[in-house]
Amino acid sequence: MTNKLNEMFTARYSKLLADLNKTMFLSEKQDGMFMVPVPTIVGDGMNILNPPTGEAIKLNIATVKIEVVPRNALLCIYVVNLPYSELEVATKNPAYFNFIMDRMVSTAVAVFKEKVGAADVARFGTEYMSFSGFVEIDSDTIQIRFTGEWANV
């Protein structure tokens, strides 16, 4: 049954999850750290000029330097237990599946945004939020997990 649920979920929500992950910059992970570029501005760059006198002027110029530094990888996991009996019905009735999952997914996304910030912030890692699949816990419970792994800048 979990295979069918995974297929139904992926078919319905893969675009939503792709949209949530579109601002993620893929980054190499080394020893539990993501390598993150950190830009800094060096120099003044500010120029205040009197009206031109015909003399040559030298402008102050600022320069952007980018240093790649390691940042701790954050692993975020949102876990939901669902009743096995209801999901059994949902696998046979896509409208019922959509009814249950739409509310659960919108809540999961809202909690993710509330706890870790919106998806529109640039992050460096593997994903902001991904679907890890349905897992049968026992005869009464099926669990779904959403994960995200990144480093904040």
Q: Give pLDDT, residue 2.
A: 94
Tokens of 144: 């779904």
**Helix spans in the chain (H):** 2-20, 84-92, 94-116
Q: What are the backbone angles phi and psi of residue 54, rounded to the nearest 5°?
A: 90, -10
Q: Hunting for tokens 């009814």 — which residue is that?
A: 99
Pair 44, 97 in one domain: no
Contact between residue 139 and residue 84 where contact means Cβ atoms under 8 Å apart: yes
Tokens of 143: 């669990």
What mean pLDDT, rounded, does the chain reach? 91
Q: Give pLDDT, residue 51.
A: 72
- Please tell me the total count of domains within the chain: 2
Q: Is the dihedral of CA 112, 113, 117, 122 positive or negative?
A: positive
Domain membership of residue 19 as a residue range: 2-32+71-151
Q: What is the pLDDT of residues 11-66, one digit of tens each?
A: 999 999 999 998 889 887 888 899 999 999 999 888 877 777 767 678 889 999 99
Pair 99, 116 in one domain: yes
Contact between residue 117 and residue 31 where contact means Cβ atoms under 8 Å apart: no
C-alpha span between 65 and 10 (Å, rounded): 41
Pair 9, 55 in one domain: no
Instruction: Provide the 8-state DSSP code for 52.
Output: P
Contact between residue 126 and residue 29 where contact means Cβ atoms under 8 Å apart: yes
Pair 16, 49 in one domain: no
Pair 79, 147 in one domain: yes
Tokens of 9: 């979920």
Q: What is the pLDDT of residues 75-134, one digit of tens each?
A: 999 999 999 999 999 999 999 999 999 999 999 999 988 988 887 888 899 999 999 999
Instruction: Return the amino acid letter for 73.
Output: A
Pair 79, 146 in one domain: yes
Contact between residue 130 and residue 112 where contact means Cβ atoms under 8 Å apart: no
Pair 10, 84 in one domain: yes
- Portion of the chain with pLDDT greater than 70, in percent: 98
Pair 41, 115 in one domain: no
Q: Give pLDDT, residue 97.
A: 97
Pair 58, 124 in one domain: no
